Amino acid sequence: MNILHDERLDGELPDIDKADVLADLQQAAPGLTLLHREEDLRPFECDGLSAYRVLPMLVALPETLEQVETLMKRCRALGVPVVTRGAGTGLSGGALPLEKGVLLVMSRFNRILDVDPDARIARLQPGVRNLAISEAAAPYGLYYAPDPSSQIACSIGGNVAENAGGVHCLKYGLTVHNVMKVEVITIEGERMTLGSEALDAPGLDLLALFTGSEGMLGVVTEITVKLLPKPETAKVLMASFDDVEKAGRAVGDIIAAGIIPGGLEMMDKLAIRAAEDFVKAGYPVEAEAILLCELDGVEADVDDDCATVRSVLEKAGATGIQQARDDAERATFWAGRKNAFPAVGRMSPDYYCMDGTIPRRELPRVLKGIADFSEEYGLRVANVFHAGDGNMHPLILFDANRPGELEQAEELGGKILELCVEVGGSITGEHGVGREKINQMCAQFNPGELATFHAVKAAFDPDRLLNPGKNIPTLARCAEFGAMHVHNNELPHPELPRF
């Protein structure tokens, strides 16, 4: 089922007149840029998950906090939903607009407000690109650790919304581990500060709650992140394997040896060939799988760790082990991995990128399961993932021009995510739930847990106007999906929204 065809996801929205909303916002915020013509709205109809498209009613491009405050207050008064968007690189439909809603685009908030090398922090507006943070910190010998593959384009506000990770999150953590404070504006148009520049903040950890909330609790207007010293040295080992499951087992062996790599990535044969054709990274195209293992720190420690990892890989059955000769070759090895998504895109008219997370010990079993699903559905799957922390990114290749293939890809993707849950994992590691995985939320969480999620949402947004239809499924939807038992034709928690 194409999730966009289920109108109940958008809730029971009031009858909203576009002309009235436009006139109201123009009067309330005279300097606010508002796009309303179809040709101006079309570029905002999707995010990175471009299989799903919806034309927004209006697009707002604020430049000041006062404009954001006014917009939120007026949308709340009018009962108009608001979806916040950053750079639009998301891969779960989280920033997908609504036909009867305002798309709030924060891209003009793109200033680096301060870099404090002594405190090792940076204050940023949400539209600042991920990579730009490290570029600004570089003169001080510092950098920002989370590095999604889209870091050249993705914004820090979107990283906070999705709790983004990257190839180095095994050692240095996700966004939630590297953000110290955020400034937000609520649906009532009020400003809030969550977190602190100190090591801790009083009260409940609302900063962690807000990070990864996918625009459902408020709008991020400023972020304070921690900066780390650049390691003295970093070296990369590339190991090739003649069997995918051997490579999967080697991941656990490395961690069991007491080594925490800066990055530990895995690619299967299809992804290897795609990346090599695209980047010329020097990958062994005859291999069934490769592991990229980066070790960083003090020179002597890194040399010792390299020797240990090499021994572990040999025992695990690696058919070849190559160490990057210098920083240039190290960068090339990583370029192949970071460009794997666009590289695979050259092999097929369309691909569907999944984002499940599993315990490392289950890697061989899940890889086998993905291969079986691929054969069952007749769709190729390229596996690219952060192997060290079990965050998998299977890329399902399909052609949307062939009737039924998109639906097949969705169904196959759902099976993969449900397998992740079955082995003790999660349906997302860094891409968020958005609209893409809303059915699988029903498989992962029970009615009581979903009730708690709805209660948290209601505490911040009682009218359910912020990014409705995303992340948290309704109980009625879960019952239809078959993941929730219905007693006497009654769903649990009758006080919660049915739609």
Question: Which pair of tokens denotes residue 192?
Answer: 């809030």
Residue 8 pLDDT exceeds 60: no
Q: Which residues touch 343 (CB under 8 Å, ≥6 apart)? A: 271, 274, 275, 277, 278, 279, 336
Q: Taking all residues of the chain, what is their mean pLDDT, rounded to a whole number?
A: 92
- Cα-to-chain-centroid distance, residue 168: 15
Q: Within 13 A of 497's CA, how many CA atoms are on the CB side?
A: 20
Residue 316 pLDDT exceeds 80: yes
| For residues 451-477, average pLDDT | 93
Q: Give pLDDT tens digits for 17-56.
A: 999 999 999 999 999 999 999 999 999 999 987 778 999 9
Question: Which pair of tokens denotes residue 417?
Answer: 């995510």
Q: Determine the pLDDT at residue 13.
A: 56
Question: Structure pTM?
Answer: 0.91
Residue 214 pLDDT exceeds 60: yes
Q: Determine the pLDDT at residue 294.
A: 97
Q: Give pLDDT tens digits for 104-139.
A: 999 999 999 999 999 999 999 999 999 999 999 999
What's at 336, amino acid-wise? G
Torsion angle of C-alpha atoms 294, 299, 303, 308, degrees rounded to 10: -60
Least reliable range by pLDDT among 100-104, 121-125, 338-342: 338-342
Q: Give pLDDT tens digits for 469-497.
A: 999 998 888 887 765 544 444 444 444 45
Question: Which pair of tokens denotes residue 334?
Answer: 């990583």
Residue 425 pLDDT exceeds 90: yes
Give Dmax (Cα) for the chain. 70
Residue 66 pLDDT exceeds 70: yes
Percent of the chain with pLDDT over 90: 85
Q: Label residue 16 exposed, middle or buried (CB < 10 Å: 0-12, 13-18, 19+).
A: middle
Contact 178, 172 (CB under 8 A): yes
Q: Determine the pLDDT at residue 14.
A: 61
| For residues 319-327, average pLDDT | 96
Neighbours of 129 (CB within 10 A): 22
Percent of the chain with pLDDT over 70: 94
Q: Which of 461, 460, 447 is nearest to 495 (CA)?
A: 447
Question: Which pair of tokens denotes residue 298?
Answer: 């003090």
Q: Which domains does the chain have, with CATH numbers?
A: 3-105 (3.30.43.10), 112-229 (3.30.465.10), 233-342 (3.30.70.2190), 351-422 (3.30.70.2740), 446-499 (no CATH)
Q: Give pLDDT tens digits for 404-424.
A: 999 999 999 999 999 999 999
Which of the four pLDDT bands, split at 50, 70 and 90, describes residue 391?
very high
Q: Determine the pLDDT at residue 385.
A: 87
Which of the four pLDDT bands, split at 50, 70 and 90, describes residue 1?
very low
Q: Determine the pLDDT at residue 51.
A: 76
Q: Determine the pLDDT at residue 199.
A: 86
Q: Give pLDDT tens digits for 264-291.
A: 999 999 999 999 999 999 999 999 999 9
Q: Give pLDDT tens digits for 135-155.
A: 999 999 999 999 998 999 999
- Annotate the chain with three-state secondary structure: CCHHHCHHHHCCCCCCCHHHHHHHHHHHCCCCEEECCHHHHHHHCCCCCCCCCCCCCEEEECCCHHHHHHHHHHHHHHCCCEEEECCCCCCCCCCCCCCCCEEEECCCCCCEEEEECCCCEEEECCCCEHHHHHHHHHHHCEECCCCCCCCCCCEHHHHHHHCCCCCCHHHHCCHHHCEEEEEEECCCCCEEEEECCCCCCCCCCHHHHHCCCCCCCCEEEEEEEECEECCCEEEEEEEEECCHHHHHHHHHHHHHCCCCCCEEEEEEHHHHHHHHHHHCCCCCCCCCEEEEEEEEECHHHHHHHHHHHHHHHHHCCCCEEEECCCHHHHHHHHHHHHCHHHHHHCCCCEEEECCEECCHHHHHHHHHHHHHHHHHHCCCEEEEEEHHHCEEEEEEEECCCCCCHHHHHHHHHHHHHHHHHHCCCECCCCCCCCCCCHHHHHHHCCHHHHHHHHHHHHHHCCCCCECCCCCCCCHHHHHHHCCCCCECCECCCCCCCCC
